Amino acid sequence: MCWAVTLLFLMFVSFVWADLGEELIQAAENGDLTEVEKLLEAGADVNKQNNDGETALFFAAEHGYVEIAEKLIEEGADVNVQNNNGGTTLMYAIEYGYTEIMEMLRNAGAVE
């Protein structure tokens, strides 16, 4: 009986963290720094990937959200993660011309 309760608890915790990660991706896509900070504080997985393999950092890089990108990197976002098409956050920043984010990503160890 005890193992069943433990299993249910672990499933619940896993489900909640997964939802926070998805919410983090949505907040980054919407450019909502306050919500990004709140979700990170609540324990959202900074490296959660959506169905396309993109993390919150991809959306910050794609839309030029400098403060969000900076916060995600500070919180340990993987700057070299690839999406399902092999794209990286640095590739997004380059494609959309966000030089400040390009510099930030390179300084954090991103490679092309």
- Alpha carbons 100 and 70: distance in angstroms, whole number: 10
- pTM, two decimals, is 0.83
Write down the pLDDT at residue 15: 46
Q: List the domain boundaries for the chain.
A: 2-107
Per the document, the length of the chain is 112
The tens-digit pLDDT sequence of the chain (112 residues) is 555 555 455 445 444 445 899 999 999 999 999 999 999 999 999 999 999 999 999 999 999 999 999 999 999 999 999 999 999 999 999 999 999 999 999 999 999 7
3-state secondary structure 46-73: CCCCCCCCCCHHHHHHHHCCHHHHHHHH
Domain 2-107, what fold?
A: 1.25.40
Helices vs. strands in the chain: H and E counts, helices first: 6, 0
